[in-house]
Amino acid sequence: MKKLAPILAGLCFFASAAMYQIGSTNSHLTELKDTFWIPLPLGIVFALLALKNRKSS
């Protein structure tokens, strides 16, 4: 889990940014802009887990 947590955190943050960008530019996918925040809490949890694992080793 030590190497997986930072990857998953980055993926969640990237997905959130991509959802916002795609929802902003494409008029057919505006619901992505409305729900871009959904991956953020999971990304924060994974980022905190990655920091905890980094400090303990």
Predicted local confidence at residue 55, as pLDDT: 78
Query: Within a 10 A sphere around the Cβ of 36, how many other Cβ atoms?
Result: 19
Q: Is the pLDDT of residue 29 over 70?
A: yes
The residue-averaged pLDDT of 35-51 equals: 95
pLDDT over 90 percentage in the chain: 82
Q: Domain residues for 41?
A: 4-56
DSSP class of residue 52 equals H
Q: Which of 37, 55, 22 is nearest to 5 (CA)?
A: 55
pLDDT averaged over every residue in the chain:
92
pLDDT tier at 32, thresholds 50, 70, 90:
very high
> How many domains are contained in the chain?
1
